[in-house]
Amino acid sequence: MSRAVVTVVGEDRVGIVARVSSALAENGVNIEDISQTIMQDLFTMMMLVTVDESRIPIGDLQKRLAQVGGKMGVHITVQHEDLFRFMHRI
Amino acid sequence: MFINPEEILETIEMIEEQALDIRTITLGVSLRSCADPDGKRLCQKIYDRVTSAARKLVPVADGLSAKYGIPIVNKRVAVTAIAEVAEASDLSDYLPVARALDEAAAATGVDFIGGFSALVHKGITPGDERLISSIPRSLAQTKKVCSSVNVATSKAGVNMDAILRMASVVKKTAELTSENDGVGCAKLVIFANIPEDNPFMAGAYHGSGQPDIAVNVGISGPGVVRAVVERYREADLTQLSEIIKKSSFKITRVGELIGREAARLLGAEMGAIDLSLAPTPTPGDSVAGILEAMGLEKTGAPGTTAALALLNDAVKKGGAMATSSTGGLSGAFIPISEDLGMIDAVESGALSLEKLEAMTAVCSVGLDMIIIPGETRVETIAGIIADEMAIAVVNRKCAGVRLIPTPNKSEGELAHFGDLLGFGPVIKVNSFSCSNFVTRGGRIPPPLTSLNN
C-alpha cells in the first residue's frame, strides 16, 4: 500500500468533497486524514490517502481524479507522500 | 496531518507555476566490455549493451513522473569515452560507432546519448585522433549523439595543440550542419577538468572511475529561485543567500528522491545529483531572471559577476545539505540560447562575450551555447576556448565551451537550432588576432597550487 496526498484547489461549490470522496472509494482508496481551508479566496482541500497500487497506480488515479476535477472546474493533483517528506523534512 | 497545507501548496506551486522539474535522468553505462578488433562487431556490441542497459529507462522515468507528479523532462544515456572503447578496433573512422549509438538511442527512446568523447589534455592517442577526425561528420549524420573532448586539466595544464585542433573541428561541424545554423556544434563541448558523472548534455560521458551502470540526475529550478528572490525584495544579500539555500535544498531533495528510486528500479548505482540551475525557454525559468530579480537592470550590468557568485554558492550550499551524492557540473548554467533573459541581455547590448567569460570564473559551467559569427577564424575560436580553459585550470574547476559559429550569419542575427536546442542571437567577437599565440602549439603547464597570492 502506498500513501499519497490528494490536493484539490478551486472555487468553492456544493459537492466537491462528495464527488472526490466517491471517486476515491470507487477505486478502493482509503482516506486517512482530510483538511480543508480557504486560501487566497480558493477552496483548498488536502487528503492523505492509502492507495493499493496493484489495483490502481498513483499515476492512473491522478488521471481519473483530473477528469472528476475537470467536470467541477477544480484542479486535483495526486502525489506520493514521499515527495513532500523529502522536500520539507530534514 | 504530518505535512502542513502550506508546504503541500508550496510544492504544487513550484511544479505548476515555477517550472520545477527534473531536467534529466541520465544513465551512465560502461562500454568497456565492448572493445573488439572487428569494427562491425564493436558496433553491434555497443548497440546491444546500450539497448539492454537502458531498456527500462524511459518507462521507469515516466512511472516516477506519474507517481510523484513531477515532470522528468529528459531521459539520456552517457557512455564510456568512445575513443577508449574503439581504439583496439580496425575502424579508421568512428562514424559507424556514432551511428550505432544513435540507433541505440532511438531504440530506447532516450533524448540524447553522450560519450562520443576523448580525453586529450596531455596528448593524443591514435584512437583519440580517429575520434576527433570523425566528430564533424558524426554530428552531422546522427541526431542524438553528443560529443565532448577534454583538452585541459589543472594537473596537466592546457593542451594548445588539441585546442587548435578542436577549433577547426568546431568550424567544420558548423559548416556540415549549415542548413540548421550549425546545430552540430550544439552537440559538442570542449572541456577543462571534465566531470565523470555529469548528467547534462552535450558534455555527459561515463568516466573511467564510475560503476558499471549509474543513475545521474540533473535538477532544474531557476523559476523557483527567481520567485523567492522576487518575493523578498527588501532582503539584504546575507538574507538572500539564506533564502536561496532553502529553495535549493528543496529542489535538490526532489532530485535525490527521484535518483534513489530510479537507481533502485533500474538496478543501477546511485551516481550524482548535479546541483545546477538549468534554465529552459519557459518564461520565468531563467538564470538571468534570478540575477535581475536580485537587482540588476539587465544581466551583464556591473555587479553581474558578484550576483552570480552569490547565487551559485548559495545553490551549492543548500544542495549539498540535501544530498551526499553531489557531482556533475554543479553550477549555474548561463547559456545564451534556452534562457530568454540571457537572449534579451545580449540583444539589448547589456551582455558581451567578455562579461560572460568573467561570469564563468564564478560558476562552473563555462561558455555555453555561444553563437558567434560564421566568419570567425579558427585561430580566434581557439583563442576563446583557450581563455576559458585557462580560467578553469587556474581555478581548479570544470568548464565547458560550446561555441556555434553559425554559417553565413553575423552579429545581431538570430540562429535557430530546432525544438530541442532553441535559438539565440549571434554575439560580437573581438576582431583582433591571436593567431601567432595559438599556433605556437604546445602546452600551457599546470599552475602552481601554492603561493596562492
B451 vs A11: which has the higher pLDDT = A11
How high is the mean pLDDT of chain A?
92
* Average pLDDT of the residues in B75-89: 98
What's the CATH code of the domain at B109?
3.20.70.20
Query: Percentage of chain B with pLDDT > 90?
Result: 87
How high is the mean pLDDT of chain B?
95
- The answer to whether the CB of B195 falls within 8 A of the CB of B218 is no
Q: Is it the case that residue B1 has pLDDT exceeding 60?
A: no
Of A37, A81, A83, nearest to B254 by CB-CB distance is A83
What is the domain extent for residue B142? 28-192
B329 vs B172: which has the higher pLDDT = B172
| Grid coordinates belonging to B174 | 558548423
Q: What is the pLDDT of residue B282?
A: 83
Residue A50 contacts B where some CB pair is shorter than 8 Å: no
DSSP B112-164: EEEEEEEE-SS---HHHHHHHHHHHHHHHH-SSEEEEEEEEETTTEEEHHHHH
Domain membership of residue B311 (yes or no) is: no
Q: Cβ contact (<8 Å) for B7 and A87? A: yes
Domain membership of residue B239 (yes or no) is: no
- The answer to whether the CB of A80 falls within 8 A of the CB of B254 is no
B279 vs B109: which has the higher pLDDT = B109
The DSSP 8-state label assigned to residue A32 in this structure reads E
Q: What is the pLDDT of residue B365?
A: 87
Residue type, B335: P
B34 vs B451: which has the higher pLDDT = B34
Residue B453 pLDDT grade (very low, low, confident, very high; cuts 50, 70, 90): low
B2, B228, B258, best to mutate vs chain A, most A CBs in 10 Å: B2
Residue B63 contacts A where some CB pair is shorter than 8 Å: yes
User: Reduced to 3 states, what is the DSSP secondary structure of residue B301?
Assistant: coil
Residue B46 pLDDT grade (very low, low, confident, very high; cuts 50, 70, 90): very high
Q: What is the pLDDT of residue B270?
A: 95
Q: What is the pLDDT of residue B195?
A: 95
Of B10, B12, B67, nearest to A58 by CB-CB distance is B67
Domain membership of residue B223 (yes or no) is: no
Q: Is it the case that residue A41 has pLDDT exceeding 90?
A: no
Where does B153-234 have alpha helices with state H? 160-176, 222-231
Torsion of CA B332, B334, B339, B341, to 10 degrees: 100
* Average pLDDT of the residues in B108-134: 97
Q: Is it the case that residue A51 has pLDDT exceeding 80?
A: yes
CA distance readout (Å), B439 to A66, B160, B220, B403: 63, 8, 40, 19
Residue B17 pLDDT grade (very low, low, confident, very high; cuts 50, 70, 90): confident
Q: Is it the case that residue B451 has pLDDT exceeding 80?
A: no
Query: What is d(CA B159, CA B193) in angstroms, rounded to the nearest whole number?
Result: 12
Domains: count for chain B: 1
Domain membership of residue B114 (yes or no) is: yes
Q: Is it the case that residue B109 has pLDDT exceeding 90?
A: yes
Domain annotation for chain A: domains and CATH numbers? 13-72 (3.30.70.260)
Q: Cβ contact (<8 Å) for B68 and A46? A: no
* Average pLDDT of the residues in A10-24: 92
Query: What is d(CA B117, CA B146) in angstroms, rounded to the nearest whole number?
Result: 8
Instruction: Give residue-wise pLDDT tens across range A19-40.
Output: 999 999 999 999 999 998 887 7
Instruction: Give residue-wise pLDDT tens across range B375-426.
Output: 999 999 999 999 999 999 999 999 999 999 999 999 999 999 987 788 999 9
Q: What is the pLDDT of residue B74?
A: 94
B316 Cβ contact list (under 8 Å, min separation 6): B248, B275, B326, B330, B331
Instruction: Give residue-wise pLDDT tens across range B178-222.
Output: 999 999 999 999 999 999 999 999 999 999 999 999 999 998 889
Of A37, A58, A79, nearest to B5 by CB-CB distance is A37
* Average pLDDT of the residues in B24-47: 98
